[in-house]
Amino acid sequence: MPKMKTHRGANKRMYVSGGGVIRRRRAGKRHKLEVKSAKRTKRLRQPTLVSRADLKRAKKLLPYR
């Protein structure tokens, strides 16, 4: 059986950290930033964990690790 291919769209949105945890970027930092507070935009910079509900699907899309 051939190797499993990585889902390219998921690969651009999520990544596997060194500890094997799947992380993603936060939504809401593309436009209308002048409306959002500095505290909020600073919080949007940090990556967050993929939710437990989506974890199984994310692991299937990112077959490495």
User: Which residues on neighbouring strands pair with residue 49, listed in sequence order?
Assistant: 23
- φ, ψ of residue 43 to 5 degrees: the values are -65, -30
- Is the residue at 1 inside a domain? no
- Structure confidence by residue, pLDDT tens digits, 33-51: 999 999 999 999 999 999 9
Structural domain of residue 25, as residue ranges? Answer: 8-61
Q: Which two tokens stand for residue 38?
A: 């500095």
**pLDDT tier at 16, thresholds 50, 70, 90:** very high
% of residues, the chain, pLDDT over 90? 86
CATH, residue 29? 4.10.410.60
- Closest alpha carbon to 45 in 21, 28, 62: 28
- Is the residue at 3 inside a domain? no
Tell me the whole-structure pTM to 2 decimals.
0.80
